[in-house]
Structure 1
Amino acid sequence: MKAALQNYHARMQRVLNHIDRHLDDDLDLDALSNVAAYSKYHFHRQFTATFGLSVHRYIQLVRMKRASYQLAYRDAQSVTDIAMEAGYDGPDGFARAFRQRFGQSPSSFRKSPDWEPWLVAFGPLDNARSKLMQKTFTIDDVTIRDVPPTPVAIIEHRGDPATLGATIQRFIAWRQGAGLHPKTNPTFNIWRSERRPASPADFSVDLCVGVDKAIEADGGEIKAGEIPGGRCAVLRVVGNTDNLEPAALYLYRDWLPASGEEARDFPIYCQRLRFFPEVAEHETVAELFLPLK
């Protein structure tokens, strides 16, 4: 039965990956049931039972998530182009659907997103994806690497994680203005609190970009810092990099006690290597670094 369940999950995972890769295509029931190798009637029932969402609803949410990221973080794309990519015939229908779901028009969201209703709206999608996205890590997935010290420019986020999206927007806008492209200047997150602390006000993370020259102190929120060099346990995560908590827990709870190593006095951090929506969510890549003595 375990083998049968693994096979079933693999077939459903193929469907989710196919949807991610072909968001601009006609994702009808016939095509997706063929990917899963089920009859379309059986597939529709099984998909809904597994994920708690119909196939149509799931696709709508995935397209709308990509559209909201494009609005918030990709100023070069017009609202009309984003609407068409999301499967709408024009901006009017897209605007109505967007406002109904998030309480803001696309142009208002682009200017000043309200992230709390956004998080609520995508709760069902996150729950659906987590059904099959749970990863099991082993000792073979961890390598020990000597990393050089990395000068960074930092925007600190302190407070409710529901407002993190606004901090990310400011971070992206600043690095674009400074000419620090992700392909030439690496992106890091340094976690200084739990992902879900007892009080949301205690949530703390640094958004960092690697720099090769000193950052001028201008009294604003950009600060100069350094990720120290030294030995690190490194764990690569592919897909579902929105939630790296399971990987961090594996390093701290499982790998570290069994390894005989000791953690250094610096927080766990990650380098983000491939980003959504430039790549499909299951193709995003991040590496976690646990500093060691």
Structure 2
Amino acid sequence: MKAALQNYHARMQRVLDHIDRHLDDDLDLDALSSVAAYSKYHFHRQFTATFGLSVHRYIQLARMKRASYRLAYRDAQSITDIAMDAGYDAPDAFARAFRQRFGQSPSSFRKSPDWEPWLAAFGPLDTARSKLMQRTFTTDDVTIRDVPPTRVAIMEHRGDPTTLGATIQRFIAWRKAAGLHPKTSPTFNVWRSERCPASAADYSVDLCVGTDQPIKANGEQIKAGEIPGGRCAVLRVVGNTDNLEPAALYLYRDWLPASGEEARDFPIYCQRISFFPEVPEHEAVAELFLPLK
């Protein structure tokens, strides 16, 4: 029974990966049932039973999530192109659907996203993905590395985590103006609080970009800093890198007590290796670093 269930989950996982890779294609029932190796007459019911969403609804949400990321963080792409990539024949139809879901027009969202309705709208999609995408980590997934110190430019986010998206938007705009492209200047997040502290006002994270260049603030609150070098336990996470809390909990709660190591006096942090929507969501990569003595 266990082997049969694992096989079933693997086949459904193939479908989610295929959808991620082919959001621009015609994802009809014939193609997806073939990927899963199930009869098309039963596949849509199996999908709904497994994920709590119909195939059509899942694809709609996945396309709309990518579109919203592009609107907020990729200002070089036109709203018309984003609408077409999301499967809409005309920008007006996309704008109506977008406003209905998020309470903002695409152009308004691009200028000043309201992230609370956005988070609520994608709750069903995140729940569906988490059903099969929960990783169980083992000690074999953790390596110990000596990492060099890295000079960084820092934009701090302090306060309500639901407004983090706006800080990320400003951070991306600033680093673009500074010429610090992710392919040549590494991206880090340093967590100075829990992901969900008792008070939202206590949430604290540093958005960082590695650079040796003199820092030009360009009107933003940017400061220079350094991620210290030294020994670190490193855990690589592939897919679902929006929420790295399960990986962090594994390092702190399971790996660290069993390893005999001691944590150093610097917060846990991550390096963003590849990003959604530049890569399909299940191919996004982040490495989590737990500094050690």
- Higher mean Cα deviation, 216-225 or 6-15? 216-225
- Higher mean Cα deviation, 275-284 or 216-225? 216-225
Q: Which residue is equivalent to 2:36?
A: 36
Q: Which residue is equivalent to 1:57?
A: 57
C-alpha separation in 1, matches of 2:131 and 2:201: 29
Superposed counterparts of 1:178-257, under 5 Å: 178-216=178-216, 220-257=220-257
The aligned amino acid for 1:144 is I
The aligned amino acid for 2:199 is S
* Number of corresponding residues: 293
Q: 1:156 deviation in Å?
A: 0.6
Whether contact under 8 Å (2:174, 2:218) holds in the other structure is no
TM-score where L is the length of structure 2: 0.98
C-alpha separation in 1, matches of 2:255 and 2:126: 27
The aligned amino acid for 2:136 is T
Q: Which residue is equivalent to 1:124?
A: 124
- Higher mean Cα deviation, 229-238 or 216-225? 216-225
1:9-32 Cα distance to aligned partner (Å, 9 max, x none): 100000000000000000011110
C-alpha separation in 2, matches of 1:36 and 1:267: 42
Q: 1:216 deviation in Å?
A: 4.8
1:205-240 Cα distance to aligned partner (Å, 9 max, x none): 110000012325678411111100000000101111
Q: Which residue is equivalent to 2:141?
A: 141
1:58-88 Cα distance to aligned partner (Å, 9 max, x none): 0000000000000001111000000000000
Instruction: Tell me if 1:97 matches 2:97.
Output: yes
The structure-2 alpha-carbon separation of the partners of 1:102 and 1:213, relative to structure 1 and needing over 3 Å to count, comes to same
The structure-2 alpha-carbon separation of the partners of 1:65 and 1:285, relative to structure 1 and needing over 3 Å to count, comes to same
Percent of aligned positions that are identical: 89
TM-score where L is the length of structure 1: 0.98
Q: 1:41 deviation in Å?
A: 2.3
Whether contact under 8 Å (2:12, 2:36) holds in the other structure is yes
The structure-2 alpha-carbon separation of the partners of 1:75 and 1:217, relative to structure 1 and needing over 3 Å to count, comes to closer
**Unmatched tracts of structure 1, length 5 or more:** none
- Higher mean Cα deviation, 33-42 or 261-270? 33-42
**Unmatched tracts of structure 2, length 5 or more:** none
Secondary structure in 1 matching 2:35:
helix
Secondary structure in 2 matching 1:34:
helix
The aligned amino acid for 1:63 is R
1:113-156 Cα distance to aligned partner (Å, 9 max, x none): 11010000000001100001100111111111001110100111
